[in-house]
Structure 1
Amino acid sequence: MLDIGPVEYVVIAFPGNRFKGEIVPELKRLVDNGIVRILDLTFVKKDADGTTSHVELQMLDPEEASLFLEVDGEVGGLFSDEDLDLIAQELVPNSSAALLAWENTWAAPMVQAVAGAGGLVVAHERIPAPVVALALEAAAAAAAEAEA
């Protein structure tokens, strides 16, 4: 039986290479509460001249890596060089991105239940929060208009 939840990834861009670590406390909270398990965290950078580089968390300089010391995870190796190169190509000059892969540990029991019932997940997609917010606003406006 499967004992892993769905795995997701996100690419978070930082124009001007301005990553300051504000995301880390929330990431730590999610991990500490067993909601997610970090599987990989990698950073991609594009200099002003367009030169790109990427580095895994464990290879950051000690000052940068210290931001993540309190975040538990099994970091490393899921993103290929090809994945990282594709992300780097999309970055604007003088920017960086964090690539984060996590397991939704909260969903592992559902995965097990579906498998136990002989079911197969045939579609699963994450809808970005801004898209949902716009859809909810439009629905509320339509409902208000219908009531008027």
Structure 2
Amino acid sequence: MTIGPVEYVVIAFPGNRFSGEIAPELRRLVQNGTVRIIDLTFVKKAADGSVTQIELQSLDPDESSVFADIDGEIGGLFSAEDVALIARELVPDSSAAVLAWENTWAAPIAQAVRRAGGLLVAHERIPAPVVERAMEAAAAGPT
């Protein structure tokens, strides 16, 4: 089985204001074959600092319905230690969606790199604001 690069994200929602607005975009990425969901869990930190981990299948039906038709192999990747580390970074009265996905679009190039004996030695995300500033500066021309 060829597996593309796997990434995870932690998306915090201050005040526990998760609206489900990301679900349609996530669904589109899955349906287009861009990503495959590997794990999705939720972490809630109450105002008193107590932490609850909630797996997708344990969510209230109203909360989970926005994810109902997103295909994937959800569950089992994030450990209790992972959740504890994430929870430590959350401010009280907030929640986070913790999501791992495979970049299926990159599987063929990853396989080619492995066949060629190549090794990935660095991989970083450049924040969108940094790229936007660089592109604006390039468009403006030399100063």
Length-normalised TM-score, structure 1:
0.90
Q: 1:39-118 counterparts in 2 under 5 A? A: 39-118=38-117
Cα drift, residue 144 of structure 1:
4.2
* Total equivalences in the alignment: 143
132-141 or 70-79: which moved more?
132-141
Percent of paired sites with the same residue: 73
Q: Which amino acid aligns with 1:78?
A: L
Q: Which amino acid aligns with 1:131?
A: V
Cα drift, residue 140 of structure 1:
4.5
122-131 or 77-86: which moved more?
122-131
2:43 aligns to what SS in structure 1?
Answer: strand
Partner of 1:16: 15
Q: Which amino acid aligns with 1:87?
A: I
2:54 aligns to what SS in structure 1?
Answer: strand
2:84 aligns to what SS in structure 1?
Answer: helix
Cα drift, residue 135 of structure 1:
3.3
Q: Are 1:128 and 2:127 matched, yes or no?
A: yes
Long gaps (5+) in structure 1: none
28-37 or 87-96: which moved more?
87-96
Change (3 A) 1:19 1:138: same
CA RMSD between the two structures: 1.5
Q: Which amino acid aligns with 1:19?
A: F
Long gaps (5+) in structure 2: none
Cα drift, residue 130 of structure 1:
2.5
User: Take 1:99 and 1:115, find their aligned partners in 2: how far apart are those partners?
Assistant: 29
Cα drift, residue 99 of structure 1:
0.6
